């Protein structure tokens, strides 16, 4: 009898991972979110003209928290973590807060173009980390090739922006650190969501984000800030659209789909960022955009084809 119980416990421990490869519906929603995220750098850059980076972060999470509470009430979600949720949520916070802080500070010291291309490296870090930590989410040669082709497309789009970077190196370095932490956070969130409810993860991020960045802003930022129409729109987009709906949508994807697949779709974000920067900030569209877009889509197609083929084999 003891032997049988041991066998049952072992089979439970080896239960297959519930996350699957992206479906067409999941891919479409991931692309929509990537478009919205493409506007985040534009909104942040615009808002930094009127307020310092850490205070903007606190405003963003305040509004995002309101959206999250409304969503939780509407969907009858429990947002209070249980005792067993505390440890994984603390681990998430330890990654999440530095990642956002480095992103906002980095954007303050570098150009929007540099920020977008450096942030675009996070799916590469996600894929590498997921290879070692997520069951059945391994890097194949074709997926590596597809990722490289897609990233080459991003490099092509922003190639002209690599000149004259002497005054942006500090910001570039901060943004690179943020991108690496974001890759780690994507995998950690996805793993955490297998055991902790989505609403608890999201609400923890929002509440801790409000108090952490409000405190950091009061301690380290003495710059004056002015409430302008531009700042209101900036915070509304970052808080309502991104920290609210964007985080809910992203966590929903990570709960159901493998993180490397979600990250691969996110590689299109810089393309949408360029288009939105042109429409909102009147930044010129580069001629290499269309070649870059073709390379990105080719790389993503190869990566997804490779993932789907390996899934069918198993």
Residue 76 near residue 29 (C-beta atoms within 8 A)? no
Per-residue pLDDT, 157: 61
pLDDT more than 70, % of the chain: 81
Per-residue pLDDT, 110: 77
Q: Which two tokens stand for residue 298?
A: 């080719």
Q: Which two tokens stand for residue 299?
A: 């790389």
Residue 103 near residue 43 (C-beta atoms within 8 A)? no
Q: Is the model's pLDDT at 313 over the cut of 60?
A: no
Please name the residues in contact with 79: beta carbons below 8 A apart, sequence gap of 6 or more.
68, 69, 72, 199, 200, 202, 203
Residue 232 has a CB neighbour count (10 Å cut-off) of: 13
Per-residue pLDDT, 7: 44
pLDDT bin (cut points 50, 70, 90) of residue 97 is very high
Q: pTM here? A: 0.73
pLDDT tens digits, 123-163:
777 777 777 776 666 667 877 787 788 778 767 765 655 55
- Closest listed residue to residue 33, CA positions, set 236, 250, 208, 222: 250
**Residue ranges covered by each domain of the chain:** 24-134+168-284
Residue with tokens 């980076």: 53
Q: Is the model's pLDDT at 13 over the cut of 90?
A: no
Per-residue pLDDT, 211: 92
Give me the chain's average pLDDT, please.
79
- 116-137 burial string, b = 16+ CB within 10 Å, else e? bbbbbbbbbbbbbbbbeebeeb
Per-residue pLDDT, 155: 75
Q: Is the model's pLDDT at 121 over the cut of 80?
A: no
């Amino acid at each position: 009898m003891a032997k049988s119980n041991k066998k049952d416990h072992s089979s439970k421990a080896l239960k297959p991972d519930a996350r699957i490869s992206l479906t067409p519906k999941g891919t479409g929603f991931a692309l929509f979110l990537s478009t919205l995220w493409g506007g985040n750098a534009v909104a942040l850059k615009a808002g930094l003209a009127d307020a310092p980076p850490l205070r903007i972060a606190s405003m963003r999470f305040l509004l995002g928290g309101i959206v999250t509470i409304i969503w939780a009430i509407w969907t009858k979600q429990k947002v209070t973590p249980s005792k067993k949720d505390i440890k994984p949520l603390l681990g998430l916070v330890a990654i999440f807060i530095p990642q956002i802080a480095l992103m906002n500070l980095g954007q303050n010291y570098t150009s929007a173009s540099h920020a977008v291309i450096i942030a675009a490296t996070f799916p590469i870090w996600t894929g590498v980390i997921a290879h070692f930590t997520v069951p059945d989410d391994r890097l194949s040669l074709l997926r590596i090739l597809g990722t490289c082709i897609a990233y080459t497309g991003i490099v092509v789009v922003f190639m002209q922006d690599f000149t004259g970077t002497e005054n942006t190196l500090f910001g570039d370095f901060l943004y690179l650190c943020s991108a690496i932490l974001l890759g780690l956070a994507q995998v950690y969130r996805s793993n955490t969501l297998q055991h902790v409810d989505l609403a608890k993860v999201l609400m923890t991020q929002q509440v801790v984000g409000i108090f952490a960045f409000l405190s950091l802003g009061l301690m380290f930022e003495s710059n004056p800030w002015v409430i302008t129409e531009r700042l209101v729109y900036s915070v509304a987009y970052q808080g309502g659209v991104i920290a609210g709906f964007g985080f809910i949508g992203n966590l929903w994807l990570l709960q159901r789909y493998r993180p490397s697949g979600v990250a691969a779709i996110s590689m299109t974000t810089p393309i949408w960022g360029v288009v939105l920067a042109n429409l909102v900030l009147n930044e010129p569209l580069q001629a290499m955009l269309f070649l870059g877009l073709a390379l990105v889509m080719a790389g993503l197609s190869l990566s997804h084809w490779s993932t789907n083929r390996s899934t069918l084999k198993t």
